[in-house]
Amino acid sequence: MAELKTAADVVKLIKDESVEVVDFRFMDFPGLWQHFSVPARTVDEDAIVEGLGFDGSSIRGWQTINESDMLVKPVAESGFVDPFMARKTLVLICNISDPLTGEDYTRDPRNIARKAVNYLQSTGIADTAYFGPEAEFFVFDDVRFDQNEHEGYYHVESEEGRWNTGRDEQPNLGYKPRYKEGYFPVPPTDSLQDLRSEMMMTLEEIGVPIEAQHHEVATGGQGEIDLRFDELVTMADNLLKYKYVVKNTARRYNKTATFMPKPIFEDNGSGMHTHMSFWKGGDNLFAGDGYAGLSETALYAIGGILQHAGALIAITNPTTNSFKRLVPGFEAPVNLAYSRRNRSAAIRIPMYFSSPKSKRIEFRCPDASSNPYLGFSAMVMAAIDGITNKIDPGDPLDRDLYDLPPEELAKVKTTPGSLREALEALNADHEFLLKGDVFTEDVIETWVEYKMENEAMAIDLRPHPWEFAMYYDMA
C-alpha cells in the first residue's frame, strides 16, 4: 500500500486501490475500539480534514445526551486496508474533537497520549518515548458464561487444555502442554504455530513490524506476538491493530481469542510486559554506566514508576480480573522492586543485549486489558516525575523475591490487591498525571467513578460460585 501522509494521499489511494468502504475507528474511554463506515465515494479531502460527526453520548464514559455531538478527525498516516473484510475497506484511526470549539476532546485517550508526548518534549528531558509491549493472549475453542439472579458460571474449552488429557476425543492424541510448561515446546504440543504465524504475517502486511511469536507458559492455547518498539502514539495504534488481528484471525478458524488477564485457574495469566526508554537527539537516555548499564536518568525514571505504582496500576491493570493475575507464584510481578534479569520484580532491566541502543526498562505489571494510550501515557508521566524530582528507587533486589524470608519480604512494597484498592491509590495520588494538562481532573474523576461503579461494585454485589463451595453448609 502507498504511504499515507496527507488527506490528498488518502483520496488518491481510495481511487488507485478501488477502495469501496472507509472505516473510521477510535478508542472509547475504557479501552475498546469503536468504528463506523461510509461508502468510499463520499470521502474527499474536506471529510478527512474537517472530520465527520457522531453521537458521543453513546460512547462509554463520554458525553451527556445534551452535549452529544462530536467529531472524528481521521489521521492519514494511520491508514491500512482491513485484511478481514469482504469489501475492500480502508481503515483510518481518528482523533476526537468538539464541533463547536474545535478543541481536542479531553477524554479521547489518543489525545491524552499525544499530550503526554508533547509534555515530555516541553520538559526538555527527551524528545521521544519508545515502547515495546509484550501482550499475551489465549486462543480457546469455546467459551460460555452467564450470570443472573439464580446462577453464575463460566466455561472455557481448548483442545490444548491439560485438563483434557482424559477426554474421549476420538482420538485423543495426548499432546497437551502441562500446566506452566507451555514455553516453548515445538509442534505437535504447540498446536497453534500456524495460527500465530498467520497472525504475525497479517500484522506485517498491514504495516505492524513484528519481532517474534511463540507459545506462552500456560496450557490451553496461551500465546504471544512481540511488536517491534515504536514511539508512544504509534505503538498504541499498533497495539489496537494487534488485538484486532489476533481476534479476527482466531475467529476465521472458528476459535476465539481473549486478552483477559486470568481466564484459567491455577496457571499463568496473560500480562503485557512493557519496555520503555527515553531518547533525545538520537541518543538513548537510559543507557549509562550505572547498575545494569543504566543511566542516572533511567534510575530516577524507575523511582518515579515505583513511587506511583499503585496509581499507575489503576490504569495499566484496570479490571477486577487483572488482580487474579497479580498474585505470587505465577511469574506475576507483585513486588514493587527493580532488578536486572529478575522476572519476579515489578521492573526488570533486560540483559539480552550489550548495545546502549537496546537499554531500556521493563514494567512487568501491566496487562492488555488496559487502554494503551492511557497506560503508556501514565508510565511516561510517572517517569518524568521521577526524573524531575530525582526520586531514588532504592537498592535493586536481585534475589528471587518469592523466596525472601518473611522479615525481608515485609520491607518490600507490593502491588494493590484489588481494583478498588488501585482506584483508591489513583484517587489519592494523581498530581503527577495532571502536569502539562496531560490527564485532567475530569479524566481522573470519570475514570475512578466509572471503574468503581461499573466494575468493582458490580463484582462486589454478585455471589461467586466458589462461595457456595466454602459457605453453603455453614451452620
**Active site residue ranges:** 55, 134, 136, 216, 224, 273, 343, 362, 364
Cell digits for 375? 497506560
Dump the DSSP string for 232-282: HHHHHHHHHHHHHHHHHHHHHTT-EEE--S--STTS----EEEEEEEEETT
How many residues are there in the chain?
475
CA distance 335 to 416: 10
Kindly report whether the peptide bond that precedes residue 187 is cis, defined as omega within 30 degrees of 0.
no
CA distance 23 to 89: 7
For 318-337, b/e burial (b = at least 16 CB within 10 A) is: bbbbbbbbbeeebbbbbbbb
Q: How many CB atoms lie within 10 A of CB 346?
A: 28
Looking at the DSSP assignment, which residues form a beta bridge with residue 277?
Answer: 130
Cβ–Cβ under 8 Å, residues 218 and 138 = yes
Residue type for 7, please? Answer: A
Cell digits for 135? 501482550
Mapped onto helix, strand or coil, the DSSP state of residue 130 is strand
**Backbone torsion region of residue 270, taken as left when φ is above 0, otherwise alpha when ψ lies between -120 and 50, otherwise beta:** beta
Cβ–Cβ under 8 Å, residues 359 and 290 = no
What is the separation of C-alpha 165 from the centre of its chain, rounded to a whole number of angstroms? 33
Cβ–Cβ under 8 Å, residues 87 and 57 = no
Residue type for 260, please? Answer: M
Cβ–Cβ under 8 Å, residues 132 and 359 = no
**Backbone torsion region of residue 82, taken as left when φ is above 0, otherwise alpha when ψ lies between -120 and 50, otherwise beta:** beta
The secondary structure element, H or E, covering residue 196 is helix 193-205
Cell digits for 465? 460460585
Q: How many CB atoms lie within 10 A of CB 97?
A: 18
